């Protein structure tokens, strides 16, 4: 068994041979599937680059052993099973068992992994262990934490007024996970809802397409259409109601400014390049910057009430750490008008824009490393969205210690991170996932979003954490009192409380 594990560890798909489609009969010419007891085999390893395993057919000469690989009805190619398998023979297989390795003619998506099928060449019979076996293996090996709240991501959010009726016609569409091990009965809803319709089962988009390690039946595209009474505060909040372990809960899905507030927000949007440096590629400025920012802050307010037992409006001091071009700071000013709000960022261009266009908060450029200019025990909360997703491990430790210093005793740092779901939905190879799981953090890939903006070009990374690592490492600085999945994106929040 050790040799089997070693073989899997040493395998690299870029070394695998490619077989042309002309090398063996085209898919249409392959014989119908016939169940033959003499055929055995397993898919030992599969990722977006290729597949490998072993096969046995006692009625076929060793030099004729082969497998065919398909995705659905698409024939990808064939591979000769001509690699000796002494490790399998040692485990009791007959001496004519042979290994195969096949590199896909093109990189496939993780969403297509469940559709890959490997069949024995002479009979077109599927191998005993296909992707379902591999997925159950991964489920045990790479256990993805089931969090209390549902996964949900919106791509569209609009509210169109009906002046005569004083109503708004609201549409929110995106991807939603309607059931998990803990959360179920997920349903969008809104205050002042007069009528509503929810459509489920639409094609998924974005990162939900990559959640192949969850049952596809639970990941659905959705469209929520509702007529909602005009809100008194010019803010429409669409929530998610759901049950967690049988207990009903409600959490924000999205927040849409309307009326005078919406008009004001539309006049304070930075240039596209500035937004892109903060959130990457985006759909449109209104949805991504305005609606996205308000959604983040309404979600933050919900977390404050849950973990601090105070709303944002009841706080004295707030640090928007990594504020960028004030995407979240602007709604923070509106929701917490009595608080002293500070925004800092390493991007001097975005800070300059924020100083010029945003009233009600102070802004400063931060160094790439601590210290900050604030005194000890200054802030009630620190909000850090998509900051630790871009830092190396040593840099993270420095900033965790610094954030602990500037927080008041009992204060909370709400810090987002890329967890297991985000990591597995990316196009990582099996080797990269192995490294990520063993280390607990993946921080070596450079992100070029701030190239030319900051002086240290390798500072900004694309970083992923395991939740076990986060509890182990970050608890050296904080009490980790909770993990919250983010409703408007693929990041999770670690709720980090400074001991009193």
Q: Which residue has the higher pLDDT, 1 or 452?
A: 452
- Cβ neighbors of 69 (< 8 A, separation 6 or more) are 51, 75, 76, 77, 78, 79, 102, 104, 116, 117, 118
Q: What is the DSSP string of 245-257?
A: TTEEEEEEEEEEE
Per-range mean pLDDT, top range of 50-54, 107-111, 203-207, 270-274: 270-274
Please report whether residue 263 resides in a domain.
Answer: no
B/e letters for 37-53, b = 16+ CB within 10 Å, e = fewer, are: eebbbbbbbbbbbbbbb
Selection from 428, 462, 464 nearest residue 49 by Cα:
428
Q: What is the pTM of this model?
A: 0.79
Selection from 302, 190, 314 nearest residue 240 by Cα:
190
Mean pLDDT (whole number) for 378-393: 97
466 pLDDT above the threshold of 60: yes
Q: Which long-range contacts (CB under 8 A, 24 or more apart) does 160-165 make?
A: 161/230, 161/258, 161/259, 162/227
**246 and 198 belong to one structural domain:** yes
What is the pLDDT at residue 31? 36
488 DSSP assignment: T
Tokens at 482, concatenated: 């909770």
- Evaluate the omega torsion of the peptide bond into residue 371 and state whether it is cis, within 30 degrees of 0: yes
Quickly tell me which residue has 């504020």 as its tokens: 323
Mean of all residue pLDDT scores within the chain: 84
66 close to 25: Cβ distance less than 8 angstroms: no
Q: What is the DSSP string of 70-128?
A: EETTEEEEEEE--EE-HHHHHTT--TT-EEEEEE-SSPPPGGGGGGEEEEETTT-PBPS
Tokens at 421, concatenated: 């779901």
**147 and 135 belong to one structural domain:** no
**227 and 172 belong to one structural domain:** yes
What are 41-65's pLDDT values in tens digits? 888 777 788 888 888 888 888 888 9
Strand partners, 462: 445
- The length of the chain in residues reads 500
Which of 112, 141, 170 corresponds to the end of one domain? 141
Please report whether residue 234 resides in a domain.
Answer: yes
DSSP H or E segment with residue 226: strand 219-229
What CATH number should be reported for the domain holding residue 380? 3.40.50.150
Please report whether residue 481 resides in a domain.
Answer: yes
Mean pLDDT (whole number) for 27-41: 46
Q: How confident is the model at residue 115 (pLDDT cuts 50, 70, 90)?
A: confident
Please report whether residue 111 resides in a domain.
Answer: yes
Mean pLDDT (whole number) for 152-174: 91
**430 and 342 belong to one structural domain:** yes
235-249, 254-268, 479-493: segment of lowest average pLDDT: 479-493
What is the pLDDT at residue 9? 36
Q: How far is CA 300 from CA 63, 98, 160, 477, in A?
A: 63, 56, 26, 21
What is the pLDDT at residue 25? 37
Mean pLDDT (whole number) for 361-374: 97
What is the pLDDT at residue 244? 78
Selection from 463, 282, 453 nearest residue 384 by Cα:
463
What are 166-201's pLDDT values in tens digits? 899 999 998 887 777 677 788 899 999 999 999 988
Mean pLDDT (whole number) for 214-242: 88
What is the pLDDT at residue 147? 58
B/e letters for 249-260, b = 16+ CB within 10 Å, e = fewer, are: bebbbbbbbbbe
What CATH number should be reported for the domain holding residue 175? 2.60.40
Give first-to-last CA distance, the chain, whole Å: 51
Selection from 183, 247, 206, 227 nearest residue 238 by Cα:
227
Which of 258, 279, 298 corresponds to the end of one domain? 258
Which of 109, 141, 173 corresponds to the end of one domain? 141
386 pLDDT above the threshold of 80: yes
Selection from 47, 64, 46, 65 nearest residue 55 by Cα:
65
Quickly tell me which residue has 């490492």 as its tokens: 473
In angstroms, rounded to a whole number, what is the distance separating the alpha carbons of residues 198 and 196? 7
In angstroms, rounded to a whole number, what is the distance separating the alpha carbons of residues 447 and 391? 10
**284 and 231 belong to one structural domain:** no
CA dihedral sign of residues 54, 42, 118, 131? negative
- Cβ neighbors of 77 (< 8 A, separation 6 or more) are 18, 19, 20, 21, 23, 24, 68, 69, 102, 104, 105
Strand partners, 362: 342
Please report whether residue 83 resides in a domain.
Answer: yes
In angstroms, rounded to a whole number, what is the distance separating the alpha carbons of residues 421 and 467? 10
Using only the alpha carbons of the chain, give its radius of gyration. 26
Q: How confident is the model at residue 108 (pLDDT cuts 50, 70, 90)?
A: confident
What is the pLDDT at residue 340? 98
Give the whole-number percent of the chain exceeding pLDDT 70: 82
**39 and 186 belong to one structural domain:** no
**475 and 353 belong to one structural domain:** yes
Selection from 121, 95, 241 nearest residue 178 by Cα:
241
* Number of domains observed in the structure of the chain: 3
**6 and 100 belong to one structural domain:** yes
What are 252-303's pLDDT values in tens digits? 999 999 999 999 999 999 999 999 998 888 779 999 999 999 999 999 999 9
Q: How far is CA 207 from CA 122, 176, 177, in A?
A: 38, 11, 12
DSSP H or E segment with residue 225: strand 219-229
B/e letters for 417-430, b = 16+ CB within 10 Å, e = fewer, are: bbbbbbbbbbebeb
**158 and 115 belong to one structural domain:** no
In angstroms, rounded to a whole number, what is the distance separating the alpha carbons of residues 259 and 361? 24
In angstroms, rounded to a whole number, what is the distance separating the alpha carbons of residues 185 and 181? 12
Q: Which residue has the higher pLDDT, 103 or 430?
A: 103
What is the pLDDT at residue 34? 34
458 close to 449: Cβ distance less than 8 angstroms: no
4 pLDDT above the threshold of 60: no
What is the pLDDT at residue 60? 85
**94 and 57 belong to one structural domain:** yes
Mean pLDDT (whole number) for 381-391: 96
16 pLDDT above the threshold of 60: no
Mean pLDDT (whole number) for 212-229: 81
Please report whether residue 450 resides in a domain.
Answer: yes
**201 and 237 belong to one structural domain:** yes
Selection from 28, 37, 23 nearest residue 82 by Cα:
23
Please report whether residue 357 resides in a domain.
Answer: yes
Residue 17's domain comprises 2-141
Q: How confident is the model at residue 208 (pLDDT cuts 50, 70, 90)?
A: low
133-147, 195-209, 440-454: segment of lowest average pLDDT: 133-147
In angstroms, rounded to a whole number, what is the distance separating the alpha carbons of residues 159 and 163? 12
**147 and 119 belong to one structural domain:** no
Please report whether residue 56 resides in a domain.
Answer: yes
């Amino acid at each position: 068994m050790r040799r089997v594990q070693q073989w899997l560890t040493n395998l690299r798909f870029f070394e695998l041979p490619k077989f042309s489609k002309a090398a063996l009969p085209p898919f249409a010419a392959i014989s119908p599937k016939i169940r033959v007891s003499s055929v055995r085999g397993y898919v030992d390893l599969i990722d977006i680059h290729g597949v490998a395993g072993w096969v046995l057919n006692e009625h076929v000469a060793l030099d004729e052993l082969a497998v065919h690989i398909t995705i659905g009805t698409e024939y990808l190619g064939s591979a000769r099973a001509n690699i000796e398998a002494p490790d399998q023979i040692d485990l009791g297989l007959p001496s004519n068992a042979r290994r195969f390795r096949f590199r896909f003619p093109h990189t496939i998506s993780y969403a297509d992994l469940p559709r890959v099928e490997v069949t024995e060449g002479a009979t077109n019979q599927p191998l005993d262990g296909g992707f379902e076996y591999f997925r159950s293996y991964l489920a045990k090996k790479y256990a993805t934490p089931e969090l209390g709240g549902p996964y949900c991501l919106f791509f569209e959010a609009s509210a169109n007024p009906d002046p005569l009726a004083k109503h708004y016609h609201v549409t929110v569409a995106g991807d939603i996970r309607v059931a998990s091990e803990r959360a179920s009965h997920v349903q969008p809803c809104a205050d002042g809802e007069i009528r509503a319709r929810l459509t489920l089962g639409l094609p998924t988009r974005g990162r939900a397409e990559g959640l192949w390690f969850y049952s596809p039946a639970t990941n659905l595209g959705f469209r929520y259409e509702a007529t909602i009474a005009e809100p008194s505060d010019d803010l429409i909040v669409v929530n998610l109601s759901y049950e967690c372990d049988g207990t009903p809960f409600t959490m924000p899905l999205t927040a849409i400014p309307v009326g005078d507030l919406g008009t004001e927000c539309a006049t304070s949007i930075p240039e596209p390049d500035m937004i892109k440096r903060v959130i990457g590629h985006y759909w449109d400025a209104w949805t991504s910057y305005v609606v996205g920012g308000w959604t983040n802050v309404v979600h933050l307010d919900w977390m404050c009430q849950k973990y601090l037992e105070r709303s944002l409006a009841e706080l004295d001091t707030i640090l928007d750490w990594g504020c960028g071009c004030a995407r979240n700071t602007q709604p923070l000013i509106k929701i917490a008008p009595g608080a002293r709000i500070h925004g800092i960022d390493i991007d001097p261009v975005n800070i300059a824009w924020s100083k010029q266009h945003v009233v009600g908060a102070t802004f400063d450029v931060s160094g790439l490393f601590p210290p900050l200019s604030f005194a000890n025990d200054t802030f009630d909360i620190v909000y850090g969205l998509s900051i630790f997703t871009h830092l190396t491990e040593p840099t993270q430790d420095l900033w965790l210690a610094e954030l602990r210093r500037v927080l008041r005793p009992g204060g909370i740092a709400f810090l987002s991170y890329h967890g297991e779901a985000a990591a597995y939905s990316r196009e990582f190879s099996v080797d990269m996932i192995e490294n990520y799981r063993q280390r607990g953090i993946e921080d070596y890939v450079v992100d070029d979003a701030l190239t030319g903006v900051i002086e240290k070009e390798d500072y900004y990374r694309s970083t992923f954490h395991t939740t076990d690592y986060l509890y182990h490492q970050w608890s050296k600085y904080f009490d980790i009192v909770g993990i919250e999945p983010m409703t408007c994106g693929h990041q999770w929040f670690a709720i980090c409380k400074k001991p009193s």
